[in-house]
Amino acid sequence: MADETNLITPEMLSWIGRKTTSSLLPIMTASDIRRYMDATGDRNPLWYNDECAKAAGYRGRLLPPMLVGWLPFSIRENPDGSSAEVPDLGRQVPVPKNFTNLRNAGSETEWLKPTYPGEQLLTQSCLVDIVARQGRAGWGIYITQEEQILNGDGDIVMRRRHTMALFAETQLAEARKD
C-alpha cells in the first residue's frame, strides 16, 4: 500500500529548486497578433491600435497576455540562435515506474507587466514542490513547477505555477471499478 512516507523519495525531493536555463522565446510581430485576433475573435484595440494604447498609458500597442502565455509552448531558441526545447522539469522527476497516468492538477497565472510586439522575451522554469496526497483515485504525486517570462530588462512579465498529478495505473483501474 502506497502512502506519503514511501512515495516521495529523497531523490525526488532533491529535484526541488532545479531550474532550466533561460531560453529565448519567438519574437511576436503585428502579423502574429492578427492571427491571434482571427483565431480568438479578441478585437481589443490595445492589440492593434497604437493611439488607443498610448491614450491608455502604454508606449504602444500590446501583445495580448494570452498570446504571451502561449509562447512557452512554442519553439524556443538558444542565445546562439539554435533551436531548443526547455525541458519540462516535472516530467523528468524520477517517480515510481507505475505512476504513468498524468493529470493537470491546476494552474495559476499572474500578468505583471505589459509586453510589446518585437520585444525579446525569455523563459525559465523552476521545480518548486513535490508532495503526495490521497484522493478518490488513490495516492497521487503532485509536482509543481513555476515558469517565468522575462523581458529584455530582466523584469518578470508573467509568472505561472502549474501542478501536475501522477497516479499509478493500477490505482486508477481500481478506482474506475467503484
3-class SS at 6? helix
Pairing of strands 122-135, 138-150: antiparallel
- Greatest Cα pair distance, the chain, in angstroms, is 63
Q: What is the mean pLDDT of the chain?
A: 87
Each residue of 113-160: pLDDT tens digit?
Answer: 999 999 999 999 999 999 999 988 789 999 999 999 999 999 999 999
Distance CA 161, CA 146 (A): 4
Amino acid at site 74 = S
Distance CA 152, CA 48 (A): 22
| Sequence-ordered list of residues with C-beta below 8 angstroms from that of 171, at least 6 positions apart, any chain | 2, 137, 138, 139
| Domains recognised in the chain with CATH numbers | 4-25+78-177 (3.10.129.10)
Which pTM was predicted? 0.78
Residue 19 is predicted with a pLDDT of: 94
The strands making up 83-84's β-sheet, listed across from edge to edge, are 83-84, 76-77, 23-24, 122-135, 138-150, 156-168, 99-111
Higher per-residue confidence, 85 vs 161: 161
> Residue 105, class by beta-carbon neighbours within 10 Å (0-12 exposed, 13-18 middle, 19+ buried)?
middle
Q: CA of 176: how far to CAs of 49, 66, 69, 140, 161, in Å?
A: 52, 35, 34, 15, 29
The DSSP secondary-structure symbol of 93 reads S
pLDDT band at 63 (very low <50, low <70, confident <90, very high): very high
Distance CA 150, CA 157 (A): 5
Each residue of 16-34: pLDDT tens digit?
Answer: 999 988 888 889 999 999 9
